[in-house]
């Protein structure tokens, strides 16, 4: 078992490479492997302008949501925490819609707007949760997330009703997916995700420290409150960057940290790395199903993530109730 856990990350890396190749090769249009590398050919244009950007988008979004989930669960001490459950995604989504209304041509500002909304939602959830300390940690965080989600969803609905021309775009955005993704909208958030992801991996030991509890963390010279704020802010930033082009794709940050801990046996850095790889694989496969299952039509990738995530959340809640 120990040897298998040592090989978990290399195996996940290999599976990710194979998944990327599969997603590049399969689609609604069959591509000629020779013509793909012929500049100016239809196959080359489809590959470079449609399929490759979509694969990059799905992989990086999966990584971002997954790493954000690990950081939020460590910061809150709650295994149910994830960007969509505690309101991070809804806050980012509202900010993105607001930016689309006020500054429709400034797509480079979407990650900035999403981060502002995500940070606001994260702060609100932790503040409300701390004020309801009489509840258990799990119940407090989840109920706070429900409240923040409802608040931002109400704002989003109001804004959408005032701008019906954006309803179609936001409807797809609210489920999450990668249809119509363009390279120009990817460059900035993908760079930010890769840089932030590398920063998160370097903070792996801090995840271990905060997991020891406040007393032990303090005895080692750390300030737990600062660690929590820093991890939450980094998680919000990662989720916001992904939301800016992937929409409100849910449950990646809930499922993958648990899968990563199961495969690696724990450890902050290993859990972060395994979760990032698993998140990329999961979202890539969800997107592959979304664009091939009803070809030439398409389903939102978020539908398949919800099909996985909702039962997983129910199982986690059931187990918690049983232990309680």
Domains and CATH numbers, the chain: 2-323 (1.10.3470.10)
Digit-coded pLDDT (tens) for 231-249: 888 998 899 889 888 988 8
φ and ψ of 7, to 5 deg: -90, 0
Percent of the chain clearing pLDDT 90 (strictly above): 31
Average pLDDT estimate for 172-201: 88
Question: Which region among 74-78, 90-94, 301-305 has the lowest average model confidence (pLDDT)?
Answer: 74-78
In this structure, are residues 149 and 87 in contact, taking their beta carbons and an 8 Å threshold?
A: yes
CB 118 within 8 A of CB 239: yes
Per-residue pLDDT band for 287 (boundaries 50, 70, 90) equals: very high
The two three-digit tokens of residue 87, written as one number: 């309101």
| Band of residue 138 on the pLDDT scale cut at 50, 70, 90 | low
Mean pLDDT of all residues in 116-143: 74
Average pLDDT over residues 59-67: 96
Over residues 152-180, mean pLDDT: 81
Inform me whether the pLDDT recorded for 303 exceeds 60: yes
pLDDT at 137 over 70: no
What b/e readout covers 172-196, taking b as 16+ CB neighbours within 10 angstroms?
Answer: ebbbbbbeebeeebbebbbebbeeb
State the average pLDDT over residues 105-117. 79
| Cis ω before 211 (30° cut-off from 0) | no
Higher-confidence residue of 263 and 132: namely 263
Q: Which residues contact 233 (CB under 8 A, 6 or more apart)?
A: 119, 122
pLDDT the model gives residue 195: 96
pLDDT higher than 50, residue 309: yes
Higher pLDDT, 88 or 284: 284
- Average pLDDT score, the chain: 85
Percent of all residues in the chain with a pLDDT value above 70, rounded to a whole number: 93
pLDDT tier, 2 (very low <50, low <70, confident <90, very high otherwise)? low
Band (pLDDT 50/70/90 cuts) for residue 175 is confident
What confidence score (pLDDT) does residue 323 get?
Answer: 53
Q: How confident is the model at residue 136 (pLDDT cuts 50, 70, 90)?
A: very low
> What's the pLDDT score for residue 165?
75
Find the range with the poorest average confidence among 53-62, 201-210, 314-323: 314-323
Q: What is the pLDDT of residue 3?
A: 61
Mean pLDDT for the stretch of residues 211-225: 85
pLDDT of residue 135: 45
**The most confident of 182-186, 206-210, 213-217, 273-277, by mean pLDDT:** 273-277
pLDDT at 90 over 50: yes
- Angstrom distance (rounded) from CA 318 to CA 323: 9
């Amino acid at each position: 078992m120990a040897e298998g856990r040592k090989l978990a990350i290399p195996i996940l890396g290999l599976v990710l490479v194979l998944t990327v190749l599969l997603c590049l090769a399969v689609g609604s249009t069959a591509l000629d492997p020779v013509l793909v590398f012929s500049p100016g050919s239809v196959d080359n244009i489809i590959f470079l302008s449609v399929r490759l950007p979509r694969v990059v988008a799905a992989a990086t979004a999966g990584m971002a949501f997954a790493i954000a989930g690990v950081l939020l669960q460590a910061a809150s001490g709650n295994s149910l925490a994830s960007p969509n459950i505690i309101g991070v995604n809804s806050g980012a989504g509202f900010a993105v819609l607001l930016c689309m209304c006020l500054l429709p041509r400034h797509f480079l500002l979407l990650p900035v707007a999403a981060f502002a909304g995500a940070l606001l939602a994260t702060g609100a959830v932790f503040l409300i949760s701390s004020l309801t300390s009489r509840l258990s940690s799990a119940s407090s965080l989840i109920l706070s997330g429900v409240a923040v989600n409802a608040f931002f969803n109400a704002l989003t609905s109001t804004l959408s009703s005032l701008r019906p021309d954006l309803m179609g775009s936001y409807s797809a955005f609210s489920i999450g997916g990668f249809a119509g993704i363009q390279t120009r909208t990817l460059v900035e958030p993908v760079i930010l995700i890769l840089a932030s992801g590398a920063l998160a991996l370097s903070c792996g030991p801090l995840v271990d420290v905060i997991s020891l509890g406040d007393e032990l963390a303090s005895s080692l010279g750390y300030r737990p409150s600062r660690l929590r704020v820093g991890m939450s802010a980094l998680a919000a930033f990662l989720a916001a960057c992904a939301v800016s082009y992937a929409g409100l794709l849910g449950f990646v940050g809930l499922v993958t940290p648990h899968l990563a801990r199961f495969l690696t046996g724990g450890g902050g850095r290993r859990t972060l790395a395994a979760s990032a790889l698993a998140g990329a694989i999961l979202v890539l496969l969800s997107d592959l199903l979304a664009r091939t299952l009803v070809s030439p039509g398409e389903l939102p990738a978020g539908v398949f993530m919800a099909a996985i995530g909702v039962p997983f959340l129910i199982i986690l809640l059931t187990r918690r109730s049983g232990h309680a």
